[in-house]
Amino acid sequence: MSNNDLVAFFNKGSEKDDIIKWEKNLNKWNKNIKLVPLESKSAKDCSIALLWKPSIDRLLELKKLSSIISLGQGVDHIINYEKFPKSISVYRIVDPYMAKSMSHWVILSILNYIRDYDGYRLQQKKKIYKPRKLIDFKSIKIGIYGIGEIGKVVANDLVNLGFEVFGWSKNKKENLTFESFSNIDGFRYINANSDIHVCLLPLTKATKHIFDKSFFSRMKTGVCFINAGRGDHVVENDLLEYCKTKINLAILDVFSREPLNKEHAFWDKKNVVVWPHVSAETNSETCAKQVSEAIKSIHMKKIPMNKINLNLGY
Residue 256 belongs to some domain of the structure: yes
- Mean of per-residue pLDDT scores for the chain: 96
- The type of residue at 262 is K
For residues 25 and 134, membership in a common domain is answered with no
- The structure's pTM equals 0.94
Kindly state the helix (H) or strand (E) to which residue 161 belongs, with its residue range.
Answer: none
pLDDT at residue 3, as a whole number: 64
Q: What is the C-alpha separation between 9 and 38, in angstroms, rounded?
A: 5
Let me know: does 278 contact 259? Beta carbons within 8 Å. no
pLDDT at residue 1, as a whole number: 52
Closest CA to 285 of 11, 96, 34: 96
For residues 290 and 248, membership in a common domain is answered with no
For residues 36 and 114, membership in a common domain is answered with no
Q: What is the C-alpha separation between 293 and 237, in angstroms, rounded?
A: 43
For residues 150 and 66, membership in a common domain is answered with no
| 3-state SS class at 119 | helix
Q: In this prediction, what percent of the chain has a pLDDT beyond 90?
A: 95
For residues 176 and 56, membership in a common domain is answered with no
DSSP string of 270-305? TTEEE--S-TT---HHHHHHHHHHHHHHHHTT-PPS
Confidence of residue 273 (pLDDT cuts 50, 70, 90): very high
Residue 10 belongs to some domain of the structure: yes
Residue 312 belongs to some domain of the structure: no
Q: In this prediction, what percent of the chain has a pLDDT beyond 70?
A: 99
Residue 305 belongs to some domain of the structure: no
Closest CA to 12 of 78, 83, 63: 78
For residues 220 and 266, membership in a common domain is answered with yes
Confidence of residue 289 (pLDDT cuts 50, 70, 90): very high
Residue 314 belongs to some domain of the structure: no
- pLDDT by residue (tens digit) across 161-187? 999 999 999 999 999 999 999 999 999
For residues 80 and 183, membership in a common domain is answered with no
The mean pLDDT value for 252-260 works out to 97
Let me know: does 292 contact 29? Beta carbons within 8 Å. yes
Closest CA to 199 of 235, 237, 244, 161: 235
For residues 10 and 137, membership in a common domain is answered with no
Let me know: does 33 contact 7? Beta carbons within 8 Å. yes
Domain of 262 in residue numbering reads as 96-274
For residues 242 and 156, membership in a common domain is answered with yes
End-to-end CA distance of the chain: 34
Poorest-pLDDT segment among 12-16, 81-85, 222-226, 276-280: 12-16
- Strand order of the β-sheet with 164-169 is 179-182, 164-169, 141-145, 196-199, 223-227, 247-252, 272-274
- The type of residue at 216 is F
> How many structural domains compose the chain?
2
3-state secondary structure 232-255: HHECHHHHHHHCCCCEEEEEECCC
Query: What is the biggest distance separating any 2 CA atoms in the chain, rounded to whole angstroms?
Result: 69
For residues 203 and 236, membership in a common domain is answered with yes
